[in-house]
């Protein structure tokens, strides 16, 4: 009460403003909570697992509907890696991320979906993520592979194996599934992971190239950055689907997923380059002069002195770009790809009884995106705190 009198009720104007804001918040919360309880959430339950994998297990994509296990196995490999990360780092951050992910899998396993939407096999595979995470933790703690180097190596291996499992391979006896049938949240995650992992090193190279003293290298990087930053992502996606195929023979295989992934990666790299360049320009020139005085080569100065500090200083901007990239993956629905947003739209438009349920289903999709973006923001804040960004 003392704090409220000193800060909220210390004058007539502040008192009136406090009362108005308080009444507004109460009314907003009242109507929001009442709408949540009165809304018809049947459309979310009806779509069910299609939010996650879309039509990946449909007859058109996978005759016989025997592909349900592939996304689940990929998820188990991811939880194994998260368990390894927890075992290697031993931090509360990795522990919380691993436990929350596994807990979400268990919750999904016991949601009251009907048998045709989520069979017992799918439920058991989701629950098996608990054992997978525990196995990863034990693997990191009790074997010689419990190092950061091996976590990075296995992360690359797991990503490649996941793509092979989802795509299928005849030499492994796994039925092939056309990448155009990849859909749902897994499509958004694949595009986001490819864009995030590859845009950072490409952005670093572009930033260093733009600061180069070689005119050809500098102007090539400047042209690339300004072109991709000056064109909307939607336009680039349309160009990748309609103009790029014109440069190849008609018999050349077309892969819309690959084209979209490349465009998103290059688009994000242009913005990432400017973030890194800003971090490099913020460094005091005396550090480079001291490095030269010690006899370090230019590449040593950049690699061991300038670049680590620049990346550390722009972590908030880098994570902000990653969050924007993940949300931008929803734009692929405009070019006909069945991501989670397009699934929600088709669910509302496809059935008459759900045409009035657009607020419910898009609110659900918004919450899904918010969970992922907030997790990225939370991890960023913890990294900044550990590195002392802004403190020293």
Distance CA 132, CA 121 (A): 16
The pLDDT value given to residue 222: 92
- Domain-embedded: residue 6: yes
Angle at CA of residue 376, ends 375 and 382, nearest 5°: 90
Identify whether 18 is part of a domain. yes
Count of beta carbons in the 10 Å neighbourhood of residue 264: 26
Give the lowest-confidence range in 26-35, 68-77, 211-220.
68-77
Residue 385 within a domain: yes
Q: How far apart (Å, rounded) are the C-alpha atoms in residues 266 and 318?
A: 15
pLDDT digits (tens, 9 = 90+) for 1-55: 888 888 888 888 988 999 999 999 999 999 999 988 888 888 887 787 778 887 7
Domain-located, residue 43: no
The structure's pTM equals 0.83
**Degrees, nearest 5: CA angle 177-327-276:** 110
Q: What percent of the chain has pLDDT over 70?
A: 91
pLDDT of 116 strictly over 60: no
pLDDT at 61 over 70: no
> Which tens digit of pLDDT belongs to each residue from 289-305?
888 888 888 888 888 88
Question: Into how many domains does the chain fold?
Answer: 2
pLDDT confidence band for 219 (50 / 70 / 90): very high
In a domain, 384, yes or no: yes
Task: For the chain, give the mean pLDDT.
Answer: 84
What six digits make up the tokens of 135? 């196995």
| Two structure tokens written together for 349 | 């438009």
Please name the helix (run of DSSP H) or strand (run of DSSP E) that holds residue 29, with its range, or none: helix 12-38
b/e per residue, 326-364, with b = 16+ CB within 10 A? bebbbbbbebebbbbbbbbbbbbeeeeebeebeebbebb
Instruction: Note the pLDDT tens digit of each residue in 148-171.
Output: 889 989 998 998 888 888 887 766
Sorted by sequence, the CB contacts under 8 Å of residue 231 that are 6+ apart come out as none
CATH code for position 189:
1.10.3720.10
Confidence band of 310 (pLDDT split at 50, 70, 90): confident
pLDDT band of 114, cuts 50, 70, 90: very low
Element (DSSP H or E) covering residue 237: helix 233-242
The whole-number pLDDT of residue 202 equals: 93
Q: Is the pLDDT of residue 392 over 60?
A: no
The tens digit of pLDDT for each residue in 317-372 reads 888 889 999 999 988 888 888 888 888 888 888 777 777 788 888 999 999 899 99
Q: Which domain holds residue 16?
A: 2-38
Would 229 be classed as within a structural domain? Answer: yes
Residue 328 in domain? yes
CA atoms in the 13 A half-sphere facing the CB of 36: 8
- Examine residue 33 and state whether it is found in any structural domain, yes or no: yes
> Quick one: pLDDT at residue 220?
93
């Amino acid at each position: 009460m003392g704090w409220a009198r000193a800060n909220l009720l210390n004058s007539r104007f502040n008192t009136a403003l406090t009362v108005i804001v308080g009444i507004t918040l109460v009314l907003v919360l009242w109507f929001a909570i009442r709408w949540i309880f009165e809304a018809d959430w049947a459309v979310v339950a009806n779509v069910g697992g299609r939010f996650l994998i879309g039509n990946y297990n449909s007859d058109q994509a996978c005759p016989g509907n025997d592909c349900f296990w592939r996304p689940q196995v990929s998820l188990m490999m991811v939880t194994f890696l998260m368990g390894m990360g927890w075992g290697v780092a031993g931090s509360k951050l990795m522990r919380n991320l691993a436990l929350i992910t596994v807990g979400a899998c268990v919750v999904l396993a016991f949601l009251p979906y009907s048998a045709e939407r989520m069979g017992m096999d799918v439920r058991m595979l989701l629950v098996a993520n608990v054992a997978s995470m525990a196995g990863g933790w034990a693997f990191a703690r009790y074997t010689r592979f419990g190092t950061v180097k091996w976590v990075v190596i296995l992360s690359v291996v797991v990503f490649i194996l996941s793509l092979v499992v989802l795509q299928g391979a005849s030499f492994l006896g796994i039925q092939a599934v056309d990448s155009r049938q990849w859909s749902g949240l897994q499509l958004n995650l694949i595009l986001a992971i490819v864009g995030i992992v590859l845009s950072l090193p490409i952005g670093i190279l572009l930033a260093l190239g733009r600061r180069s003293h070689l005119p050809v290298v500098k102007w090539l990087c400047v042209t690339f950055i300004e072109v991709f930053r000056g064109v909307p992502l939607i336009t680039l996606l349309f160009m990748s689907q309609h103009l790029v195929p014109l440069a190849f023979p008609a018999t050349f295989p077309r892969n819309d997923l690959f084209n979209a992934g490349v465009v998103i990666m290059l688009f994000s790299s242009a913005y990432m380059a400017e973030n890194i360049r800003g971090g490099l320009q913020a460094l005091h020139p005396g550090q480079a002069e001291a490095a030269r005085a010690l006899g370090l080569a230019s590449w040593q100065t950049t690699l061991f002195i300038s670049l680590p500090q620049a990346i550390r200083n722009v972590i908030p901007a880098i994570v902000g770009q990653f969050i924007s990239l993940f949300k931008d993956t929803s734009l692929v629905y405009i070019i006909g790809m069945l991501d989670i947003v397009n699934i929600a739209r088709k669910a509302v438009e496809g059935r008459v009884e759900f045409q009035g349920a657009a607020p419910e289903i898009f609110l659900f999709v918004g919450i899904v995106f918010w969970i992922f973006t907030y997790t990225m923001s939370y991890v960023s804040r913890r990294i900044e705190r550990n590195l002392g960004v802004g403190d020293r």
